[in-house]
Amino acid sequence: MTNFERHATAYWTVGPEQGELRSEDLPTPGPGEALVRTLYSGISKGTELVVHHASVPACVADAMAAPNQEGDFPYPVKFGYLTVGVVEAGPEGWTGKTVFCLYPHQDRFIVPVESLTVIPDGVPARRAVLTGTVETAVNGIWEAGPRLGDRVAVIGAGLVGGMVAKLLAGFPLARLQLIDVDPAKRAFADALGVDFSHPDDALPDCDIVIHCSASQEGLQRSLQLVGDDGDIIEMSWYADRKISLPLGEDFHARRLSIRASQVGMVARARRHRRTNAERLALAVSLLQDPVFDVFLTGSSTFEELPGAVQRLADGTLDALCHVIEYPSAGVVSAKLPSTQDSSAQAQPTEATR
């Protein structure tokens, strides 16, 4: 690397609702390591705003650390996990590959090649930032274990809820509803090919309810919509918020179950037969469907990233997945080889995403 190429810039959370770009020097890549130039990264709004608000509970700070995170919660911390780039230097056969990595927002970085997932042909680099979110949805569905003819409801038509509903739309279910309090989400559900409902009008007696709204009201409604002895899969992260539930009502009387789904580990039902690398490989392969572009709802330049995060936090910017575009995106993507080896998949560190 030249001296210029040793320089990198990364986004850090430095205080409650305070973020900034910081410069750092990169070491020389060692054996088995790759230098990656970032093309795009995605803001996973739910989790990243928890970090932005410094709301990660101290008791789970270690467990909730992302792969390749630097610093510690609450701050200063370099956090993020939806990054796509091109390998500029690395072991034989890696240079020029477009890859996904669970890495924070940074314009250039060095990681072991085992941390990289090669993006297959047919998946545009920009869309590939969704790989980590598809992986989260896959894990939740593995946890839920839907069966032929099931009646399923997904509550919360955000990034994760919409992703879960999109994947479930390919299952032979008797019924699938995407539920949200915002009537404007109907158009989003239509784009996904999924029935939409307001919570007040949702159909009851579900075999499975997957809750993704991160709200007390949504979880309470889940208890009402699931059928007797039914399962609620909780995919929301409430961070330091306290949630109250009427456990003396439906939950107790109808013998309901609430199970957490958390992407740091492969879902229990597949844990002994699937690795994290296999789960990521499955996730990126699903992104060949262009309908996933509906989840990419706006973009900013890398220099605008601190302001974009704050606008997401204060509600002046609405987004599912907001894409960050790096200066090299247009130049490098035009030079990528037309064929890539999609067999070289790697296993990420087990952590929350």
| CATH number for position 66 | 3.90.180.10
pLDDT over 70 (residue 4): no
Output the DSSP codes for 227-268: EEEEEEEE----TT------IIIIIHHTT-EEEE--TTS--T
One domain for residues 120 and 29:
yes
Q: What is the pLDDT, as a whole number, of residue 331?
A: 52
DSSP annotation of 6 reads G
pLDDT band of residue 5 (cuts 50, 70, 90) is low
Give the DSSP H/E element, type plus range, for residue 310. Answer: helix 305-314
One domain for residues 198 and 239:
yes
For 246, residues 6+ apart whose C-beta sits below 8 A from its C-beta are 220, 223
Query: Does residue 141 lie in a domain region?
Result: no
Query: Does residue 352 lie in a domain region?
Result: no
Q: What is the pLDDT, as a whole number, of residue 134?
A: 98
Token pair, residue 233, equals 């899969």
Q: Judge residue 189's burial from the number of C-beta atoms within 10 Å of its C-beta, 0-12 exposed, 13-18 middle, 19 or more buried.
A: buried
One domain for residues 82 and 171:
no
pLDDT in tens, 128-174: 999 999 999 999 999 999 999 999 999 999 999 999 999 999 999 99
Contact of 194 with 169, CB cutoff 8 Å = yes
Round to whole Å and give the CA distance between 16 and 53.
5
Closest CA to 353 of 31, 137, 95: 137
Query: Does residue 95 lie in a domain region?
Result: yes
One domain for residues 198 and 232:
yes
Round to whole Å and give the CA distance between 175 and 162.
16
One domain for residues 35 and 156:
no
Q: Read off the CATH number of the domain in which 152 is found.
A: 3.40.50.720
Range of the domain at 244: 146-260
For 317, residues 6+ apart whose C-beta sits below 8 A from its C-beta are 298, 308, 311
Give, in order, the Cα–Cα distances in Å from 52 to each of 43, 47, 55, 265, 324: 11, 9, 8, 24, 17
Closest CA to 117 of 130, 105, 223, 107: 130
Q: Is 155 helix (H, G, I), strand (E, B) or coil?
A: strand
The tally of domains found in the chain comes to: 2
One domain for residues 195 and 233:
yes
Query: Does residue 340 lie in a domain region?
Result: no
Round to whole Å and give the CA distance between 193 and 180.
15
Round to whole Å and give the CA distance between 274 and 283.
13
One domain for residues 121 and 31:
yes
pLDDT in tens, 282-334: 999 999 999 999 999 999 999 999 999 999 999 999 999 999 999 976 554 44
Q: What's the mean pLDDT in 95-99? A: 98
One domain for residues 22 and 110:
yes
